[in-house]
Amino acid sequence: MKLLQGFGNKFMDNNLNDLTVSELSALLEKKEISSVELTKLFLNKIEITEDSVNAFALITRDKAFEQASESDKRRKENKQSTFSNLDGIPYGLKDIFDTKNILTEAGSEIYKGRIPDSDAHVVKLLHENGAVLLGKTITTEFADGHPPETINPWDSSRTPGGSSTGSAVAVATRMLPYALGTQTVGSVLRPAAYNGIVGLKPTYGLISRTGVIPQSDSCDTIGILCRSVKDAGLILKSIVGYDPNDNKSSIEAKSFEINNNLNDSIPKIGFLNNYFMDESDEQVKYSTLSAIKSLSDNGAIIEESNINIDFESGFQAHRIVQQSEMAQWHELLYLKYAKKYKPITLEYIKSGFSKNAIEYINALEFRNQMRKIAIDNLKSYDVLIMPTASGLPPKDLSRTGDTRFQSPWTFTGLPSIAIPSGLSENGLPQSIQLVSKPFNEQKLLNAAKWIESVLGTLPAPVMKGEKS
């Protein structure tokens, strides 16, 4: 095995790449490993794996070692009584988050060579918490266009999902312990499902989007990709907060709190059978019902809860809003660079230009109705449960998969989380999705943690073609 310069065999046999954020944080706290050593470990994994999957737009090696050294210095000097759970731990950013003096190109030729002069708000928060930026991960063009040439590590013939494509693949293959992505329709939860990891989409307005290249102002939400529910809570706690520079930042974010010690109380669950099961393929139906049975056998209270929402009409309304707002933001770029857009991105922008004001207003009204019905239904439950995606990742690398099951909760701004529920008969990840009321992430995470304890987590995919 080719090792990075100055990095020996001290940790190579301990599978530290498989450890979660919370586990790595404990090692750093005990000084059993340094942040610099941890950074070298993950860079070595990238060196071995990246050529097989193409998850990174850019590796920020120098920046990572600078931040890791600063973290080690803080711990050595013991000037702080406590340290953030993210201090000294590497992470990745979808390449639509602005990073000071570091390329941010959004997967587009139009932004080729773009170097922001400041960090996105959420990046500032992470770095205040001592996080170590290892790289920018590949995205579809402008987070909703042409898919990148990133490989699904479970099956190279299938899409890895998107648009947070590289973030999900990098976490699944253990090149990163966690990464940030964004979701406008299903761009965090679906790649999480297709890659066998945890994906959290918080309540709309909970995390600032200042400095994140937009797509749809009323739908864009920053999300978290990681390997455990506990990690999702730790990361969320570090990046929430009100930001007056984001016009959709919620005032409720000022007082929002997450308890790191997620409890193991058994949740009351509403099972959305209508639409979601009707539209699922047989393997997804089987895996979902198997998960429901396991949860019930372990004491969960589960009731069928069929919401009176026309989900298909809701999906169409979502597309009207998303594409209209996407076209509005891209208008000036389109006038100047229309020929530089990739075909799928151009298709979506042109579709947005074709929408009229009445269509847009009607879609917004439909969203209001959906949101009210969903929240009313959730008064009876801690969470709702359903499949994350309608089927296995399709063998269609020109698209990123079916977005219909993730769409309702992004469109209405409700928090949702995808967690693995096992493997299909052909060895591909399966996933269930949980939804809760707005700003109810504590209850959502508590429920998800208990469910995770019943269903378990998935190992890393067995990669073919890794360097040795």
- Residues 236-249 have pLDDT tens digits of 999 999 999 999 99
- Burial category of 335 from C-beta neighbours within 10 Å (exposed 0-12, middle 13-18, buried 19 and up): exposed
Kindly indicate the confidence band of residue 2, based on its pLDDT and cuts at 50, 70 and 90. Answer: very low
Catalytic residue check, 407: no
Query: Thinking of the domain 19-313+359-455, which architecture would CATH place it in?
Result: Alpha-Beta Complex (3.90)
Kindly indicate the confidence band of residue 7, based on its pLDDT and cuts at 50, 70 and 90. Answer: very low
Kindly indicate the confidence band of residue 263, based on its pLDDT and cuts at 50, 70 and 90. Answer: confident
With a CB cutoff of 8 Å and minimum separation 6, the contacts of 51 are 465, 467
Which of 77-86, 190-199, 203-212 is the least confident region?
77-86
| pLDDT per residue as tens digits for the range 311-325 | 999 999 999 999 999
**Active-site residue, selected from the candidate residues 94, 201, 437, 443:** 94
**Active-site residue, selected from the candidate residues 187, 216, 250, 287:** 187
Q: Is the model's pLDDT at 8 over the cut of 50?
A: no
Q: Residue range 221-246: average pLDDT?
A: 98
Catalytic residue check, 163: yes
Q: Is the model's pLDDT at 79 over the cut of 80?
A: no
- Burial category of 16 from C-beta neighbours within 10 Å (exposed 0-12, middle 13-18, buried 19 and up): buried
Percent of the chain with pLDDT over 90: 91
> What is the per-residue pLDDT for 449?
97
Q: Is the model's pLDDT at 9 over the cut of 50?
A: no
Q: Is the model's pLDDT at 451 over the cut of 70?
A: yes
Q: Is the model's pLDDT at 5 over the cut of 70?
A: no
Catalytic residue check, 31: no
Q: Residue range 326-339: average pLDDT?
A: 98
Instruction: Report whether 83 contacts 45 (CB < 8 A).
Output: no
Q: Is the model's pLDDT at 13 over the cut of 70?
A: no
**Active-site residue, selected from the candidate residues 25, 163, 216, 228:** 163
pTM of the entire predicted model: 0.96
> What is the per-residue pLDDT for 316?
98
Question: What is the rounded CA–CA span in Å between residue 143 and residue 156?
Answer: 21
Annotated domain spans of the chain: 19-313+359-455
Kindly indicate the confidence band of residue 3, based on its pLDDT and cuts at 50, 70 and 90. Answer: very low
